[in-house]
Each structure stands twice: as C-alpha cells, then as structure tokens.
Amino acid sequence: MTPALSPTRSHNVAVIGAGPAGLVAARELRREGHSVVVFEKQKQGGGTWIYTDEVESDPLSVDSTRSIVHSSVYSSLRINGTRECTGFRDFPFVVRSGVSESRDPRRFPSHGEVLAYLQDFAKEFAIEEMVRFETEVLKVAPALEGEIGKWRIESTEKEKRVRRDEIYDAAVVCNGHYVEPRLAQIPGISSWLGKEMHSHNYRIPEPFKDQIVVLIGNSSSAEDISRDIATFAKEVHVACRSNPADTFIKQTGYNNLWTHSSIECVHEDGSVVFQNGKTISVDIIMHCTGYKYHFPFLDTNGIVTVDDNRVGPLCKDVFPPAFAPWLSFIGIPWQVLPFPMFELQSKWIAGVLSGRIPLPSKEDMIMEIKTFYSTLEVQGIPKRYTHRMGNTQFEYDNWLASQCWCSETEEWRKEMCSANVVRMEAHPETYEWEDHHLISQAYQDFSLYS
Ligand code: FAD
C-alpha cells in the first residue's frame, strides 16, 4: 500500500473535459475536499451529448489540420440502454416533474434528453462554478522533469485571447474517446472513386436519397444508421467482418437493406466486392468502425502510450503506476454502462488523492498490469480490445465500489442491462420489453435519492 499520502489531504486538481465523466469527477473531487478546476473547450458541459449539425471538413476525419467537431451524435439517436440503467447511481435519470414539455419521457430517450439530464445534474451539484468553458487544454506534462507529483497545464481560453500556464497537484483526464475515427482497411480503396466518410460525420439521412450506400461495422451506430439511411437511400448494405463469409441476409421489414460478410476489395469503377461473392456498384462507403483513444495534449515522455488502442500502462484502467495517483483517466473501458462506472472511478480517484483510500504499491500495480496483459494474450484477445469490458463490467464496478466503501451494483441494474443486450440483438428496431418487476425495484432504489 502507498504510505506517501497523509489522510484526507486536499489538493488542487485539474479535470480535462466537462462531459459526463468530467462533471461527475468534479462533483466527487469537491465532495472529498479537493479544489477543482474543470477545463472544457466547448461553450457548455455535456460532451458528446451536445448535438450539432456541424460536421468536419474532411468526411473521413483524417486531415490533421481539420477543425475538430467533438460530438459524434446523430439526429435520430436514442440511448441504447434504459434510462434507469443509464443514469448516475445517486442522481437517477428519471422523468422529472415540473420540467418543460420539450423533455423526452421515453425509457430510451433521444440524445437531447441525456443532455438535459446532464444539465440537471450540473445544476443540482453547482458544478458549472468549477468549469472554465471555451478553454482548451493544450498540454498536460509533469511540472518538473524527473519529478513525479505536480502537473503543468497549458490552456487557451476563448480563441486564444487568454493563455494560461498553471501548476496543479493532480490531473484527471476526461476528454472522451469517440472523436478520433478508426477506419477499415479496404483493398483497392486508394483508386476507388466513390465517396467515403466516417460515422463521426453522419447526422441525418436525407443527403443519402437515392444513393447506394455500404456501411462497415457491427456497432450500435452501424445498426442505427443503416436503418435511418434505408428510409431515403436506394440500397443499403452492411458489411460486417464478424459475419460468416457467405452471409447475405435481407433485413426483415426492409426491401433495400442487406447484411453481408466483410468487403473483399473495391475497384476503380465504383464496385464493391463482398466476401460472399456479391458485387455491387456503390456511391458511398461509411466507416462505422469506432474510434481511437487520443490524448493530443498529454506529454508524459513516452511513459503513458496508446499502442493499437491500448492505453497503458494503467492500473484498473485508471492510474498509470509511474504517476499514480497524480495522473488518472476516467472512462477508458468500453462496452459498459458508462455513467455509473464514471461515478465509481471518480470516487476512487478522489478518495485515493485525499489519502482516505490506500492505493497498491507501484510494484504491485505494475505486476497486476503485466498479469492482466498476459491473461489477454493467453485468451487470444487482441491488444485493441484491452479496454472492452462487456460482461466483466459489474465485477469491475463492484471492485471500485469496495475500494470506496460503496454499495455494489444494484441487482436490477445488472438484470436490466443483460436483458437489454439480448433484446437489442433480437429486435434492434424496437425499444420496449416487459420488465415491470425490474422497473419497480429500480424506482424503489431511486426513492432514496428523491
Ligand atoms: P465526452 O462526452 O466525449 O466528453 C469529453 C469532454 O471533454 C467534451 O466536452 C470535450 O469538449 C472535452 N474536451 C476534450 N478535449 C479537451 C481539451 N483538450 N480541452 C478541454 N476540453 C476538452 N453512452 C450511453 O450511456 N448510452 C448510449 O446510448 C450511448 N450512445 C452513444 C452513441 C454515440 C454515437 C456515441 C459517440 C457515444 C455513445 N455513448 C453512449 C457513449 C458516450 O460517449 C458516453 O455516454 C459519454 O458521453 C462519455 O463521456 P465522457 O465525459 O468520457 O466523454
């Protein structure tokens, strides 16, 4: 255990980003007695949930000089889990009385309702007073080379009118990881003459009227966007490498939407050849192939790296041992219920920083990370899936909860989440199922916080 921290010490902490992770981090850090500054480059909090019509000038988002649009949310997006599961543990995502009629009361509401919920959260806990809006962090680096403990944060406010260079005791990185696109490798693509884009730049289906579109990917985005576009496009084809090679399935309820195996190659004449032997003349290929972790401001002299989408080394996906606890990350794991996990990660970081929660020694953390990486290797899990949690998320959340002396994940949340995964696989086009007993258990818990 780390003996260096005296109990309940307060520190000056910089939080980078005021999305859901940064908002809840700020709350937990302040609750623990730390003094907090949140840096947010946008005009308001809410991160990816701030929908915008704006898209990037480069539809594939590979041009490093492009001006970056943070949100990847499209107009029709509804959350893919229930609102009961989605919300923070102690600030339930319920339909609030007395709020405006523009709110969306559905169990799987639109993105605008999530943003409104986050605004409610920020207001309830007076978080905005800790946030410097329109302030972009340009650099986060150890304040003194070779000395672990303090961080130099360089930031620029409101289109470079104010530049700051400050020292903080700790930095908590909450910059989101759905901004920097990953692209599929397609044989022949350099001479293909059709259009290409990434789903990061997709907003509405109308521009795809009468087009023949191929989407690559099997994420919720590919699922949602293919159905969205099918209402306007001439044909929509979804290519998915996890499908068996001979896959060719017409989607029920649609006469212009098909699922294939992966793309074998593309040709100069605009044709796309699938592994199943079908060849189609295509107008647009859309990569719904996810994102890369990207920390353009972080300068750790190569100690924390992103290698094939593995951010490391990180103990429990949060602390790099060399800098623990003075540098931490929130929101690295994926295929999770993010908000409750952010809440627990934030409590852990806040408690460790104050010295109330002990951290394993640096050597133990390094050993744990090595063991974890070897387990992944033995299981044949590629590096790029290091942070994918899926079924193990509740074990992870419960471990965090145990460190923070919090209750474990509620049984109803686990059951509802699992049932939803099954529902989504079987009926991705519908949002309802019978789970009244779980809803009533959830609302019993929520009454503790009303
Ligand atoms: P973000 O929400 O991305 O916030 C990061 C913040 O950091 C932003 O405000 C950004 O402006 C700021 N920032 C970044 N860099 C800097 C810098 N250098 N200086 C200052 N500020 C900076 N989750 C669900 O729970 N349910 C869903 O249904 C769901 N659907 C999704 C659909 C899509 C298309 C996408 C992209 C994501 C979806 N998610 C969903 C996941 C979603 O990303 C998380 O819910 C959550 O928004 C992540 O929060 P975050 O705070 O980590 O990141």
| Rounded mean pLDDT for each run of 10 residues along the chain, 450 residues in total | 58 98 98 98 98 97 94 96 96 85 91 97 98 97 80 89 94 97 96 96 98 95 96 97 93 95 95 96 97 97 97 97 97 97 98 96 97 97 95 96 96 94 79 86 91
For residue 374, give the 3-state DSSP assignment: helix
Give the integer Cα–Cα distance in Å for 245 and 186: 16
Evaluate whether 103 touches 113 at the Cβ level (below 8 Å): yes
Compute, in angstroms, the gap from residue 40 CA to the centroid of ligand 1. 12
Whole-number pLDDT of residue 435: 87
- As a whole number of Å, the CA-based R_g of the chain is 23
Q: How far is CA 99 from the centre of its chain?
A: 28
Q: Which neighbouring-strand residues pair with 236?
A: 213, 257
Whole-number pLDDT of residue 429: 74
Probe target for ligand 1 pocket from 104, 175, 200, with the most ligand atoms within 8 Å of CB: 175
Cβ count within 10 A of residue 224:
20
**Ligand 1 close to Cβ of residue 340 (< 6 A):** no
**Ligand 1 close to Cβ of residue 156 (< 6 A):** no
Q: Ligand 1, closest atom to CA 221? A: 34
Give, using CA atoms, the residue closest to atom 53 of ligand 1.
176
What pTM value is reported for the model? 0.96
**Ligand 1 close to Cβ of residue 109 (< 6 A):** no
Give the angle subtended at the CA of 179 by the CAs of 223 and 62, to the nearest 5°.
Answer: 100
Compute, in angstroms, the gap from residue 338 CA to the centroid of ligand 1. 10
Give, using CA atoms, the residue closest to atom 33 of ligand 1.
73
In order of 183, 184, 208, 276, 439, the CA distances from 283 in angstroms are 18, 17, 9, 20, 45
Compute, in angstroms, the gap from residue 439 CA to the centroid of ligand 1. 27
| Stated length of the chain | 450
Q: Ligand 1, closest atom to CA 291? A: 36
Compute, in angstroms, the gap from residue 261 CA to the centroid of ligand 1. 30
Whole-number pLDDT of residue 160: 67
Give the integer Cα–Cα distance in Å for 58 and 67: 9
Give, using CA atoms, the residue closest to atom 9 of ligand 1.
47
Q: Ligand 1, closest atom to CA 330? A: 52
Give the integer Cα–Cα distance in Å for 339 and 350: 16
From its phi and psi, is residue 404 left (phi > 0), alpha (psi between -120 and 50) or beta?
alpha
> CA torsion sign, 12 to 18 to 21 to 27?
positive
Q: Which DSSP string corresponds to 156-207?
A: EETTTTEEEEEEESEEEE---SSSEE-----TTGGG--SEEEEGGG---SGG
Helix (H) or strand (E) holding 291: strand 291-292
Give the integer Cα–Cα distance in Å for 437 and 71: 35
Tokens of 264: 């074998």
Question: Nearest Cα to 400, choosing from 331, 323, 326?
Answer: 331
Give the integer Cα–Cα distance in Å for 78 and 104: 10
Eight-class DSSP state of 110: B
For residue 18, give the 3-state DSSP assignment: coil
Evaluate whether 328 touches 318 at the Cβ level (below 8 Å): yes
In order of 87, 357, 388, the CA distances from 291 in angstroms are 23, 33, 13
**Ligand 1 close to Cβ of residue 17 (< 6 A):** yes
Eight-class DSSP state of 288: -
Q: Could you identify the residue written with the tokens 């929509």?
A: 236
Whole-number pLDDT of residue 425: 79
**Ligand 1 close to Cβ of residue 176 (< 6 A):** yes
Question: Nearest Cα to 182, choosing from 282, 258, 72?
Answer: 72
Give, using CA atoms, the residue closest to atom 8 of ligand 1.
47
Question: Nearest Cα to 416, choosing from 21, 77, 86, 20?
Answer: 86
Question: Strand 12-16 vs strand 170-173: parallel, antiparallel, or unpaired?
Answer: parallel
Question: Nearest Cα to 38, choosing from 334, 336, 346?
Answer: 346
Whole-number pLDDT of residue 433: 76
Tokens of 224: 């949602």
Cβ count within 10 A of residue 136:
18
Give, using CA atoms, the residue closest to atom 22 of ligand 1.
17
> CA torsion sign, 251 to 219 to 237 to 54?
positive
Give the integer Cα–Cα distance in Å for 257 and 327: 47
Whole-number pLDDT of residue 147: 65
Compute, in angstroms, the gap from residue 52 CA to the centroid of ligand 1. 13
Whole-number pLDDT of residue 5: 46
**Ligand 1 close to Cβ of residue 47 (< 6 A):** yes
Give, using CA atoms, the residue closest to atom 18 of ligand 1.
137
Give the integer Cα–Cα distance in Å for 432 and 372: 38
For residue 208, give the 3-state DSSP assignment: helix
Evaluate whether 210 touches 230 at the Cβ level (below 8 Å): no
**Which residues, at least 6 apart from 226, have a Cβ–Cβ distance to it below 8 Å?**
215, 236, 238, 251, 257
Question: Strand 170-173 vs strand 180-181: parallel, antiparallel, or unpaired?
Answer: unpaired
Give the integer Cα–Cα distance in Å for 45 and 75: 19
Q: Ligand 1, closest atom to CA 20? A: 51
**Ligand 1 close to Cβ of residue 18 (< 6 A):** yes
Whole-number pLDDT of residue 292: 97
Evaluate whether 51 touches 142 at the Cβ level (below 8 Å): no
